[in-house]
A = this chain, B = another copy of it.
């Protein structure tokens, strides 16, 4: 059953020998590595406008978006140029983890790796959420299913990736090119129509959506808008990771693709922001509620204005949704690969390095799926609420990676290293400045969540514990008064805490601080994992091994009576050593005498030990007896042989006690005891004959 189901969903397993690197032509490499970076232009402009709109919705204020966009475009150019150097320096693939670790040390490498892992999860969550928003802009009746749609898309991408990356490459090329083509068309048509003097009116949010003059335009707010827009840079580093996937000359092809990607990215982002600016687009508030609240994205507003809601509008919305949902695919390629690197370096559980049925790193894929679904559900699939958490990790890894390159140039000093180091130093400096801006402006920019303050939590905990003591005092009469005393003390201690500060809540805003906490946590976990693997390796090394001492077998055969089913187990036990004892736990004392008689008649050479069990427990007397046997000799190993019935039909299992399983469970953590199950099949006579096995009682 399970196997058939797996085949159906994931396809037939691939043999190991089929593993080979599919070299990608540039035309396929571009969409595969670019979808993440390109997709972010669909929401970057909107995020800038959403910050500015809180100030006051006047077109003058929104004009500020234009210089901000130009600054981001400049940053994009610097980062792309800087990364081209990394490609040439690391033709075997120069992810931030590798570059940082090699040049700055394990700690820096792990910080970069942790930032990237967190960021891949956020990439999935943000892209999927924005993609669903593009769909619900065009089809508002789907708005109530937002979270469900997001989860469904994540699962779809997960299945596609578990089936293998080869197929995904082809599957994801078309939407990327469609997105580039449609957005470019929109920008060109928009500019042409404006030049021709057409009146283009974008849909605007309902009156009163934005409180006028609520805040003033401060420099801080401009920086915040800038850092929101910096999400446009996310995903640009993907090409550097994947250099070996290009056709030779790999580095040259990869650098060319990165250059093309940079140009497309800058043009599209600047184009969209220019149109928004010229068309006086006012964004819809992120949290529109109410029965008729039909929220539109900024791209949707522009497309509507340019094409007037015709069929091309729906094509743009569809292409946007597709590239956003498929942009998550980049994270689905990167997260498992980075986890694999970390697992091979014994910094993450080794299971992440296992190759699955279809030659993909299934555990990494499953990991990113679970984490991103949790994120999407927690944030209600709202891209806007995820953005404050998003870009920090990217820029931290940018900074580390570029700094690593600078250190590398200073170390190797090849011909013309000064220029190269200068470019990377500029990249590092620029991304570091942005990192600081993001950290400061987005620190608590997100949704508020509510906690009990510490005092209230302590009070509630005291009340709960005191109620537990009351319960205990009701049952344990002789020491009840002590527990009652403790309970009263607990209630008294809780009183001031809960009385003087009633159930108030403390409000904490989500934001970049969450990522700042998460990154060191992940780094710490990786160090712990590494320490464990090192300890195990040290423990298991053969270096100082001199041998296992000799031992004798003591075999305990647990019996519940004497019948044909246990005779093979008796024979098996006897074959293992000389000290074999049958052990019988006496639940019903009157039956013991008969059993002893029969035992001596049928099995005269194995002694039967009868264990009293005053409380009718099977396990406890047996454990006590094992203790006694262990004290008898030092050089023996106790093997507990448990004969087990196997019945033919499922329901007949219920007619026999599951004592074998119970015993196995109880002995599971019992040191120095080896457990052996001897199964005995209760077949119908026909089947019994068909299966001739030595461990079967022979009949006359």
Interface residues of A (CB under 8 A from B): 8-9, 11, 13-17, 349-351, 354-357, 471-472, 475-476, 529, 532-533, 535-536, 539-542, 544-549, 551, 553, 562-565, 567-568, 570-572, 575-576, 589, 598, 602, 613-617, 634-637, 639, 646, 652, 654-657, 669, 671-672, 674-679, 681-682, 684, 691, 693-700
CB atoms of A540 and B564 under 8 A apart = yes
Chain A contact residues: helix, strand, loop or mixed:
mixed
CB atoms of B637 and A572 under 8 A apart = yes
Residue of B nearest to A692 (CB): B634
Given A546-B698, A546-B699, the answer on whether A350 and B655 have CB atoms closer than 8 Å is: yes
Task: Quickly give the copy total for this chain.
Answer: 2
Residue in B17, B613, B677, B679 whose beta carbon sits within 8 Å of that of A614 in the complex: B17
CB atoms of B671 and A678 under 8 A apart = no
- Chain B residue numbers with a CB within 8 Å of A14 are 615
CB atoms of B695 and A551 under 8 A apart = yes
CB atoms of B541 and A568 under 8 A apart = no
Closest 9 CB pairs of A and B: A540-B563, A15-B614, A551-B694, A672-B693, A13-B615, A548-B571, A676-B676, A544-B700, A349-B655
What are 26 of the A-B contact pairs (CB < 8 Å)? A16-B614, A16-B616, A350-B656, A351-B657, A354-B657, A357-B616, A532-B652, A536-B682, A539-B564, A541-B563, A545-B564, A545-B567, A546-B698, A548-B696, A551-B575, A553-B575, A572-B674, A575-B576, A576-B576, A637-B694, A639-B676, A646-B669, A671-B681, A671-B691, A671-B693, A672-B695
Q: What CA separation (Å) do A554 and B535 show in the bound complex? A: 34
Q: What CA separation (Å) do A397 and B614 show in the bound complex? A: 38
- Chain B residue numbers with a CB within 8 Å of A547 are 567, 697-698
- Chain B residue numbers with a CB within 8 Å of A533 are 655
Given A576-B576, A698-B547, the answer on whether A529 and B16 have CB atoms closer than 8 Å is: no
Closest CB of chain B to A170's CB: distance in Å?
A: 15
Residue of B nearest to A17 (CB): B614
CB atoms of B616 and A529 under 8 A apart = no
- Chain B residue numbers with a CB within 8 Å of A8 are 471-472, 475-476
- Chain B residue numbers with a CB within 8 Å of A646 are 669
CB atoms of A548 and B576 under 8 A apart = no
Q: What CA separation (Å) do A546 and B529 show in the bound complex? A: 57
- Chain B residue numbers with a CB within 8 Å of A698 are 545-549
Residue of B nearest to A586 (CB): B16
Instruction: Point out which of A539, A541, A568, A672 has the most chain B C-beta atoms below 10 A from its C-beta.
Output: A539
- Chain B residue numbers with a CB within 8 Å of A11 are 475
Closest CB of chain B to A610's CB: distance in Å?
A: 14
Residue of B nearest to A691 (CB): B671
Closest CB of chain B to A600's CB: distance in Å?
A: 13
Given A542-B562, A563-B542, the answer on whether A674 and B682 have CB atoms closer than 8 Å is: no
Residue in B636, B655, B675 whose beta carbon sits within 8 Å of that of A694 in the complex: B636
CB atoms of B549 and A694 under 8 A apart = yes
Q: What CA separation (Å) do A406 and B684 show in the bound complex? A: 42
CB atoms of A616 and B697 under 8 A apart = no
Closest CB of chain B to A530's CB: distance in Å?
A: 10
Q: What CA separation (Å) do A366 and B681 show in the bound complex? A: 30
Residue of B nearest to A562 (CB): B542
Q: What CA separation (Å) do A9 and B471 show in the bound complex? A: 9
- Chain B residue numbers with a CB within 8 Å of A636 are 694
Q: What CA separation (Å) do A553 and B694 show in the bound complex? A: 11
- Chain B residue numbers with a CB within 8 Å of A9 are 475
Residue of B nearest to A699 (CB): B544
Q: What CA separation (Å) do A584 and B461 show in the bound complex? A: 53
Q: What CA separation (Å) do A656 and B537 show in the bound complex? A: 12
Q: What CA separation (Å) do A472 and B11 show in the bound complex? A: 11
- Chain B residue numbers with a CB within 8 Å of A697 are 545, 547-548
Q: What CA separation (Å) do A691 and B571 show in the bound complex? A: 32
Residue of B nearest to A532 (CB): B652
Residue of B nearest to A343 (CB): B655
